[in-house]
Structures are given as C-alpha cells and as structure tokens.
Amino acid sequence: MMKKGMIQIYSGEGHGKSPAALGRAVQTACNGDNVVIIQFLKGRGLTDSEFVKRLEPEIKIFRFEKSDGDFVDLSGERREEEIRNIRNGLNFAKKVLNTGECSLLILDEVLGLIDNEIITVEELKTLLAAKPEEMDIIMTGIALNDDVCVLADEVTKVETMRFKIWQ
C-alpha cells in the first residue's frame, strides 16, 4: 500500500491503466475508505453498469459527457458541448478536493484532456493544488510529458507486450 497523500499517474500506450486504478479503488474501499472516480473521454464509460452501482456508496463513478462516441470523431458543435460537460466534471473534481469527501480520487483519462487541448498542464496543476494532504489521487492517460510528470509523486508506465511462442 502506498503512503497517504500521494499523486500517481498511470500512463502508456498499453491497456490496463483504468483497470489498475479500479483495482486501487477496490483496495481503498476494502479498507473502509471512500473513492470518487471521474471518467473523461471514455465514451459510455462505466457509469451505466449495474455492477458498478453495487459498489456504491464506497466507490462512486461519475461521467459528465453526454456522447457515447469518441471525442475526436464528434462534430465541432458537439465537441464544444462536450468540452462544457468536461469542464463541469473538472469543477466537480475541484468540489471533491475542496470538501475532502473521499480518500482516493481517480481522474480517469484526465491526461487525454491535455492531449486534446481541453485543459492545459497549468490548469491541471491548479486543480491538484486543492488536494487535501491525506487524499490520494490517481490520474490516467496515454501521453505523458515532463510538465505532467513533475505534478506526480510516482509515475507508472503501462506497456502491453505480446510474445509469440514458436513450436
């Protein structure tokens, strides 16, 4: 278990970043603590799942986007609407940080917001500055740069490797 109050990033091209974060959420809930997960750029995401609803109240998952489609495939008008929805999600994250209502906050695919120029690294830094000392934060996303890395205490790179077995 990691020490309290850390900011972690799960990044990389490989699959498994969000499941790893969800695993940490389950561990945290098993310890009697609350978790808030805010998903960005995930299409439908997990919010409609009956299974996920059974994890409440310990683990709460939020998604503010309305479209089930991929953000980059949306028309200009729909994209602007989704950016407003995403900003609502970021404002909700700020509220969660200010109220300290959970032990672990997961910002799933938040790094993709930087890649898609929805937010800047500086805006993410400002958001993280509101973190209560004891709260852990996990951020996930594919792309990573030095400006984002310095915001975290620990960065984990997830890589998918395939091996062929010759007979």
Angle at 53 between CA 52 and CA 58, to 5 degrees: 85
The class level of CATH for 7-65+73-157 reads: alpha beta
Q: Report in angstroms the alpha-carbon separations of 61 from 54, 57, 76.
A: 11, 10, 27
Q: What is the pLDDT of residues 115-128, one digit of tens each?
A: 999 999 999 999 99
Would the pTM count as exceeding 0.85? yes
* Contact of 22 with 10, CB cutoff 8 Å: no
Each residue's pLDDT tens digit, 54-111: 888 899 999 888 887 788 778 888 888 999 999 999 999 999 999 999 999 999 999 9
